[in-house]
Chains A and B, each alone.
Chain A
Amino acid sequence: MKRTLSSLILLTLTAASILLCLAVIADRPNKSLNGFSRKIIPREFSVLREWIFSEKVMAVAGIHANTIYLSTPDPARLLAWDLVSGKVQMIQLSLPAARDPNENFHTTVRYPNYYITGTNSRRLIVVNLLASGFAEYDIPTGPVLSTIITDSNHALLRCVDTVKHILEFVAFDFRRKEIIQRRPVLVNRDPSIYANDGMLSLDKENMNCWYTHFYSNAMLLVSPSKLNMRKWKTIDTNNIPKIGSARIGDAIAISKASTNINLANFAYKGKLYVQSALMADNENIRDFRDYAVIDLYDPAYSGSFYLPLSKEKLKQFMFDEKGNLITLLDDRILVFEQSD
C-alpha cells in the first residue's frame, strides 16, 4: 500500500511539474487576444461605379451581361442597373399571389429566368423575363431561409425542419417537379435554434455550395445535387455560438446579444470569401476599424484582404464575370476594380 501511495504521489508531482513547465514556458497568455492570426494579402481596390439608391433595395438578385439585377421589397418589382450606361430600368412583373408584403422572400436572376421563393409560401415561382410567363412549383418543406439556383434545372433550398428543429438542405429538380434529395444539417454541435443563421453561396465554376454560420466558425462545403457535405472551420476559435438564453417557464428568451463571427460570404472560382467580424491577434486595430476584412478559404484558410468600406455594413458582395467586386451596402452599390 505504501508503494502504491508513493507511486501516486510521484505521478501527481510529475503532472504538476509538467503543467508548471508549460505555464512558465508559455509565460501566461495575453488576455486581450482573440486567438488567431491573419495573413494579409495586399490588394488595391478603386471604385469603378457607384449608385446611391433612391428606393429601398433588398439584395443583388443576379448579374447578366453588364446588368446587375436588384430586388426590392416588392418581389414583382426588379431594378436593372446597366453598368456601362449607368441607367436604371425598373421591371414590373405580373405575379400570382407571391406579392404578399408580410412574406419574406428570396430572389435570384439567372437570365432570362427570375426565381422567387417565400419563406412560408411552399412554392417556387419562375418568371421568364423575356416572355413574361411564369411557372409555379410546389416545395413541401419547412420555412425556406434561402435558395440557390444551381443550374437551369436544379435549386438548393436551405430550410428549417420545424418538427426536429434542425436545419436541412433540400435539392429540387424543376423537370421532375419534385425534391430529389434532402439532408439534415448540424453546423456545429449546438442544437439551438440559432444554428440556422448563416449564408449559403454557390461557386458556379466548380458547382459547389458553401455555407458559413454567423455565430460560430462552422463552414460546410456541399455538393448541390447529392448534398454530400464536408465540414471545415474558419480561422477563429469559436466552435460553439456564444448566445445567452434564459428559460422563462416554457419560453426561451435571448438574454444577451449574439456574437457575430462571420458575416456575408461569396464563393468564386474554388474560393470562399468571408467577411469576418473578429479582429485577429496580429491585426492593426485601425485597419480593422477602417476596412471590411475578407478572409479567403480554399477550403483551408489562405489569407485575407481589406476592402475600403469604412464603418459601412456590407450586406452582400460578389465578383462579376470581369472579376470586379460588387458590394451592396444599405444605401448604395459600389463596384470595385481590383489589382493584386
Chain B
Amino acid sequence: MKKTIAEIAACLLILLFVYAGLSKLLDYHDFRFQLGRSPYLEKFAGFASWLMPASEIGAAVLLAFRKTRTAGFYLSFLLMLLFTGYIFIMLRYSSFLPCSCGGVLEALSWQQHFYFNIFFVILSLVGVLVLSRHPSTIEK
C-alpha cells in the first residue's frame, strides 16, 4: 500500500514537472519575457528562466529512479514550497499578476494555482514521509 502511494505520488510529480519544464522551454522567449515582468524576479529573469525548468526536469529525473526517489521527493518539496510561496507573495502584495506558467497551467487563475500547488506540496511531503518510514519501498 505504502509502496503504491509513493509510486503514485512520484508519477504525478513527474508528470507535473516534465510538463511544466518542457512547456517553459518550448515557449522559452515568452516565459523569459513574463518572468522579466515579475516584480520579484525581474532582476534574475535570465538566470531563473533556465534554473526553473532545469530544476523541474532534474526533479522529474530523480523521481523516476528508485535509488534517487527520496532525493527527488525532497527536491520536489523544496520547489513546490518556493512556487507556492511565490504565488502567495504575488497574491498578497502585487497588483498585477504576469503569468509565466507554461501550457495549460496558464489557464488556472492565481488562486486556483495556489491550491493546485499546495496539493503537490502535500504530495511531496507524503512521498518523503512514506519513503523515510519504509525505505524498503525503494529497494525493491
- A residues apposed to B, CB below 8 Å: 1, 3-4, 7-8, 11-12, 14-16, 18-19, 22-23, 25-26, 28-36, 189-190, 233, 237, 239-240
Q: Bound state CA distance, A19 and B43, in angstroms?
A: 14
Contacting residue for A8 out of B30, B39, B125, CB 8 A: B125
Q: Which of A25, A32, A190 has the most CB of B within 10 A?
A: A25
CB pairs A–B below 8 angstroms (5 shown): A23-B40, A23-B89, A26-B40, A30-B39, A31-B95
Q: Bound state CA distance, A145 and B9, in angstroms?
A: 48
Q: Is the CB of A11 within 8 A of B78?
A: yes
Q: Bound state CA distance, A3 and B86, in angstroms?
A: 27
Q: Is the CB of A11 within 8 A of B77?
A: yes
Q: Is the CB of B82 within 8 A of A18?
A: yes
Q: Is the CB of A12 within 8 A of B37?
A: no
Q: Is the CB of B104 within 8 A of A33?
A: no
Closest to A21 in B: B40
Q: Bound state CA distance, A190 and B107, in angstroms?
A: 7
Looking at the assembled complex, report how far the CB atom of B45 sits from the nearest CB atom of chain A, in whole angstroms: 12
Number of chain B residues close to chain A: CB under 8 A:
32
Q: Is the CB of B99 within 8 A of A11?
A: no
Looking at the assembled complex, report how far the CB atom of A74 sits from the nearest CB atom of chain B, in whole angstroms: 44
Q: A35-B96, A189-B107 are in contact. Are A233 and B40 (CB under 8 A)?
A: no
- B residues apposed to A, CB below 8 Å: 30, 34, 37, 39-43, 74, 77-78, 81-82, 85-86, 89, 93-99, 104, 106-107, 109, 125, 128-129, 132-133
Contacting residue for B132 out of A4, A25, A240, CB 8 A: A4
Q: Is the CB of A19 within 8 A of B89?
A: yes
Closest to B93 in A: A28
Q: Which residues of A have CB within 8 Å of B74?
A: 7, 11
Q: Bound state CA distance, A34 and B104, in angstroms?
A: 24
Q: Is the CB of B94 within 8 A of A237?
A: no
Q: Is the CB of A237 within 8 A of B40?
A: no
Contacting residue for A15 out of B78, B96, B129, CB 8 A: B78
Q: Which residues of B have CB within 8 Å of A240?
A: 99, 107, 109
Q: Which residues of A have CB within 8 Å of B86?
A: 19, 22
Q: Bound state CA distance, A298 and B78, in angstroms?
A: 40
Q: Bound state CA distance, A14 and B77, in angstroms?
A: 11
Q: Bound state CA distance, A190 and B104, in angstroms?
A: 11
Q: Which residues of A have CB within 8 Å of B94?
A: 29, 31
Q: Is the CB of A36 within 8 A of B37?
A: yes
Contacting residue for B85 out of A19, A25, A35, CB 8 A: A19
Q: Bound state CA distance, A33 and B95, in angstroms?
A: 8
Q: Which residues of A have CB within 8 Å of B30?
A: 233
